[in-house]
Amino acid sequence: MKDRIIELKNTAETRIKDENSRYSMISFLRLISFLSAVVLFFLGFSKTNLIFILGGAAAFIIFIVFVKLHSEISKRIKHDEVYISVLDRYIARIDGNWNNGSDSGMDFVIPEDTLSYDIDLIGKGSLFQYISIAHSKEGRRKLADIITLKKNVLQDRNDRFEAISELAEKDDFRYEFETLSSKSEDNFKDVVELDKKLPGALYVLMAVVPIMTVLSLIYVFVFGANPAFILLSFILGLMFTWLPKATLDNYILPVSSYGNVAEDYYEVLGELEKVDFKSKIMMDLKDRVTGDKGILEAIRSMQRIGDLANISFNPIIHMLLAGFFGWDIYLAHIAQKWMTKHKGVFDECRGIIADIEELGSFAVLMSLRDTCEPSVTDEIKIEFEDLYHPLIPADRVVSNSAKLDNKITIITGSNMSGKTTFLRAVAVNTVLCYVGCGVCAKSFSVPVMKLFTSMRVMDDIAGGISTFYAEILRIKSMADYVESDAEIPALCLVDEIFKGTNSADRIVGAEEAVKKLSAGNCMVMLTTHDFELCDIEAADGKKADNYHFEEYYEDDTVKFDYRIKDGRCKTRNALALLKMAGIVKN
C-alpha cells in the first residue's frame, strides 16, 4: 500500500511542476489582453469608432478567458498540494509518525471522560488522531462523539460496518474526498440564508438601467448624438444601482461566501456521483446528493451565482456592469430567488460531508490494519483470536487470544510485560465493535456492555484528592452502576488496583471492591503485582480466572514476548530493570 501512495505522491508533484509553468505563461497573456482592452476602449470612445470598441470588447473577452484559466490552474496546484499532504498523513500512519502535528481532537476532550483518557480514544496519541480524516467542524464533532461513545450507534452497527468496509476498499475515493474537504474546510461554515424579497422599486430600476444604456447607444451611434450621452447614461445607472446599496448589500455581501461554499460543496459531494456504492448508508447518502430531488443541482446553480459575484471583485469591471446594466440589482435578485427555493441546503451539505468524514475515518483503520467483523453476543463472555492494539505499529505489535467468561479475571506479570496494553487492546477493540468498525483481530465476540476503566488515575492537589482516593472514586462509580441493576452489564477494567496505597490496604481494599462488583451484572478484569489477589473469590464463591505475562533473559537483558498465558505469574523483574538502568550494580 505504501508503494502505491508514494507513486501517487510523485505523480502529483510532477503535475505541480507542469502547472506552475502554465501559470506563469497565462499570467503574462492575461496582462497583455487587459492592457489591449483598455487601449482599444479608450480609442473607440474618444474617437467614436465602433471598430475599436468591438476590438476592445474582444480583448476584454479574451482577458476574462485568461482570468478563468489562471484561476483554474491555481486551483489545480492548490488541490495537488493538499492531495500530497493527505498522502503524507497516510505514509506517516504506516511509518508510525502519525502523532506528530495531526489533528488530535483535543478541543473535544472532556476531563470527566475517564474512559477516553484511559484507553486513548481522543487527544494526543489517540485513536482519533490516528484515523481522523475529518476537517469540517461537524465531521470532527461527529467523529469525536461516536469514537468516545457519547453518541450511541450500536443499533446501526451492521449497516455502519457495511459502509465502513466499503469505504476501506475505495482508497482513491477517500484520498480525493479528504483532499477536497481539507482544502475547503474554511468555507464549511454557517451562512445566513435570506428569503425576504427585494423591495418593488428595485425591480423597476432593474429594467430602467439597461434600457437607458441601450437607448443612449442607439442615440449616439445611429443618430450621431454627442458621446457624452453614453457617459450621462452610465452615471445615472451608477446612481440608480448604488443609491440603494445598503438594501442590496443584505443580499450581495453573502453571495461571495455562498459562491465559495457552493463551489467547495459541489466539488466534495460531486465525488459521490463518480462512485458506485453497494452499502445501504452510502447509497442513501449518494441518493440525497444526486437523486431526482438531490442537492447537487442546487449547489451547481449557486456556484454559477458565485462566479457572477466574483466578477465584482474587479472594481473597473464592477463599475462598468453596475453603470450600464444595474448589475448589483440583478445579482441581489438572483441570489434571493435561490435562497427562497433552496433554503436549508447548506445545512444538509454539511451533514452529508460530516457523515462521510466520520465513516471514512474508521475506514482508514480497516484499510491500514488487518481487521475482522466482530460479533455481538448475548452471552456474558469476551472471546477473541489474535487480538492486538490498533495504535501499536504493525511491525512491533503482538497479538493475543483468550476466552474470558468468568466474573473476575486477574492478570499478573512483571513490569513492562504487556498487562496494561492487553487491557487497553480489549477495551479499544470493544469500542470499535460497538461503533460498527472492524476490530483488530482474527475473530472477536463481545456482549453489549457498559465500559468502565481505572487506569490513568491521578491525584487532584487543588481538590485535595489523593491518587488512592481518586481510585476509590473510580471504583465507586462502577459499584454504583452495578448496584443500579441496569439491564446492560458492566465491564470493569482496572489496572494495578489501588496502587496508590500500601500493599496490606491494597489487598484488603481490592478484595472488598471486587466482591462488591462481582455481586452484580458485571465482568471485572484487573491487573496486579500482588500475587495474594490471585486467590480472590467472587461474591458467589467462585474463584477468579488467572492469566499472566512474563519475561525471559538473553545475555543479561530482560526481554518480553508480550503473550498472555494461563495461570498466575511466578517471576519478578524489578531488580533486573534497576540493573539495566544502572541503579543497581550487582
Q: Report the pLDDT value the prediction gives residue 122, as an integer from 0 to 100.
A: 96
Alpha carbons 18 and 579: distance in angstroms, whole number: 60
pLDDT (average), residues 320-342: 83
Q: Say which range, 31-40, 146-155, 293-302, has the weakest mean pLDDT.
A: 293-302
Q: Is residue 414 a contact partner of residue 571, using CB atoms and an 8 Å limit?
A: yes
Q: Say which range, 91-95, 112-116, 223-227, 266-270, has the weakest mean pLDDT.
A: 223-227
- C-alpha dihedral, 304 to 310 to 314 to 315, nearest 10°: 100
Band of residue 450 on the pLDDT scale cut at 50, 70, 90: very high
Q: Report the pLDDT value the prediction gives residue 461, as an integer from 0 to 100.
A: 52
Residue 186 has pLDDT above 70, yes or no: no
pLDDT (average), residues 33-53: 84
Q: Say which range, 3-7, 176-180, 210-214, 549-553, has the weakest mean pLDDT.
A: 549-553
Q: Report the pLDDT value the prediction gives residue 258, as an integer from 0 to 100.
A: 65
More confident: 260 or 291: 291
Q: Are strands 557-560 and 551-554 parallel, antiparallel or unpaired?
A: antiparallel
Alpha carbons 440 and 404: distance in angstroms, whole number: 17
Tens-digit pLDDT profile for residues 511-567: 888 888 988 899 999 998 888 888 888 888 889 999 999 888 777 677 889 999 999
Report pTM: 0.83
pLDDT (average), residues 54-80: 87
Q: Report the pLDDT value the prediction gives residue 91, as an integer from 0 to 100.
A: 94
pLDDT (average), residues 456-483: 79
Report phi then psi at 487, rounded to 5: -65, -35
Q: Report the pLDDT value the prediction gives residue 462, as an integer from 0 to 100.
A: 45
pLDDT (average), residues 277-286: 95
Band of residue 586 on the pLDDT scale cut at 50, 70, 90: low
Residue 362 has pLDDT above 90, yes or no: yes
Collect all residues with Cβ–Cβ distance below 8 Å to 344 and sequence separation of at least 6. Answer: 193
Length of the chain: 586
